[in-house]
């Protein structure tokens, strides 16, 4: 099988903080590992029937454990405060984080802090608030914990090793990557199976003839795409379709560029994330728990293994 990475994943299956907590490894105090950043200033915020007037500043939370806090002061008579968490990849385009809406703050539950943990996968978060009926005094903060270790580089390597181990065992791509898959000939079947599961998109299917001319095939006309969820994606001939009959170039004439893998670490099944943690632990320590960890990793990965064979 000839397959090459075209675009590697930009995210990690585990954050360094997650692995440090798993290993109980932390070289700084609890207080030193915490950072509190103001998103929305603590003030009297006027009535605004929208989520665009009282918007907090975006905060980079990549690789950290995060909690968002509303510091609620006194609401005006009958005043209400609805606050939600928004997330972004680039600190420019924002969407509401699912599950990020706080309980409405009224005069019955003001003058206290309200908190919610952010467990999403975006790089930046902020708060957006709507105030109705009367001005409300409040502000928001983003509290993040990022344990630090003197061995951070080795921990990063262990995460990479653990991820690779699980991918080899399961024969899956865990986080989104783009591959170039090369074939020497078109199959006798009316489909081509694509390795690594979780097919997201097929960018192109092309072939080079014996004269060196590259032809890019047309989706829906020349082939169809079956993503098949977490299963094996396929390229399939349309009804009564046939593969090209040109004399092919002698070396890797057929190239399929496609993207596969889960789009966020939070979407990866929990047994596989657990397996990556154990494999990273094994890589980091290299000691007598190896046999125990190896068996546990295999068991966690067993039901997610891709058994199909590929050209």
Contact 190, 237 (CB under 8 A): yes
- The Cα 270–Cα 275 span in angstroms is 8
CATH number of the structural domain spanning residue 110: 2.60.120.660
Strands (E), the chain: 2-7, 34-45, 54-55, 59-60, 65-75, 80-88, 95-101, 112-118, 124-132, 136-145, 177-183, 191-193, 199-208, 214-216, 224-226, 234-236, 254-260
Is 59 among the domain residues? Answer: yes
pLDDT bucket at 17, cuts 50 / 70 / 90: confident
Residue 35, pLDDT above cutoff 90: no
| Domain count within the chain | 1
Instruction: Evaluate whether residue 55 is within a structural domain.
Output: yes
Q: Decide if 261 is inside a domain.
A: no
Burial label for 237, CB within 10 Å (0-12, 13-18, 19+), is middle
Please compute the mean of the pLDDT values over residues 275-282 and round it to a whole number. Answer: 95
Rounded (10°) CA dihedral 117, 112, 83, 81: 170
For the segment 179-190, the average pLDDT, to the nearest whole number, is 96
* pLDDT for position 63: 73
Report the pLDDT value the prediction gives residue 25, as an integer from 0 to 100. Answer: 73
Average pLDDT of the chain to the nearest whole number:
92
pLDDT, tens only, 231-262: 999 999 999 999 999 999 999 999 999 999 99
Helices (H), the chain: 16-23, 152-170, 270-285, 290-301
Q: Are 196 and 234 in contact (CB under 8 A)?
A: no
State yes or no: pLDDT of 199 exceeds 70.
Answer: yes
Q: How far apart are CA 167 and CA 305, in angstroms?
A: 9
For residue range 139-162, what is the model confidence (pLDDT) as tens digits?
999 998 765 555 777 888 999 999
Q: Over pLDDT 70: what percentage of the chain?
A: 95
Q: Let me know if residue 186 belongs to a domain.
A: no
- Domain boundaries, position 62: 34-145
Beta strand pairing call for 65-75 and 34-45 = unpaired
- Residue 116 CA to residue 86 CA, distance in Å, equals 12
Residue 176 Cα to chain centre, angstroms? 8
């Amino acid at each position: 099988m000839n397959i090459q990475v075209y675009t590697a994943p930009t995210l990690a299956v585990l954050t360094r903080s997650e692995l440090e907590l798993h290993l109980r490894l932390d070289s700084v105090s609890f207080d030193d590992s915490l950072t509190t950043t103001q998103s929305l200033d603590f003030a009297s915020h006027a009535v605004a029937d929208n989520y665009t007037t009282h918007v907090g500043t975006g905060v980079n939370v990549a690789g950290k454990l995060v909690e968002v806090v509303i510091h609620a002061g006194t609401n005006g008579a009958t005043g209400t405060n609805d606050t939600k968490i928004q997330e972004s990849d680039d600190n420019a385009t924002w969407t509401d984080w699912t599950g990020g809406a706080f309980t409405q703050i009224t005069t019955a539950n003001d003058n206290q802090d309200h908190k919610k943990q952010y467990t999403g996968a975006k790089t930046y978060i902020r708060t957006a608030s709507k105030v109705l009926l009367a001005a409300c005094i409040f502000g928001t903060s983003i509290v993040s914990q990022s344990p630090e270790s003197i061995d951070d580089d080795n921990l990063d390597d262990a995460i990479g090793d653990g991820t690779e181990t699980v991918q080899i065992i399961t024969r899956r791509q865990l986080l989104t990557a783009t591959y170039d898959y090369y074939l020497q000939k078109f199959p006798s079947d009316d489909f081509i199976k694509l390795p690594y599961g979780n097919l997201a998109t097929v960018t192109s299917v092309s072939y080079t003839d014996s004269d060196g001319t590259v032809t890019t095939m047309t989706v829906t006309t020349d082939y169809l795409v079956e993503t098949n969820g977490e299963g094996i994606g396929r390229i399939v001939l349309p009804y009564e379709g046939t593969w090209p009959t040109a004399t092919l170039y002698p070396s890797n004439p057929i190239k399929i560029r496609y993207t596969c893998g889960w789009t966020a670490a939070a979407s990866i099944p929990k047994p596989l994330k657990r397996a990556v943690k154990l494999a990273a632990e094994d890589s980091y320590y290299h000691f007598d728990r190896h046999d125990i960890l190896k068996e546990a990793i295999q068991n966690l990965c067993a039901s997610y293994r891709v058994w199909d064979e590929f050209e």
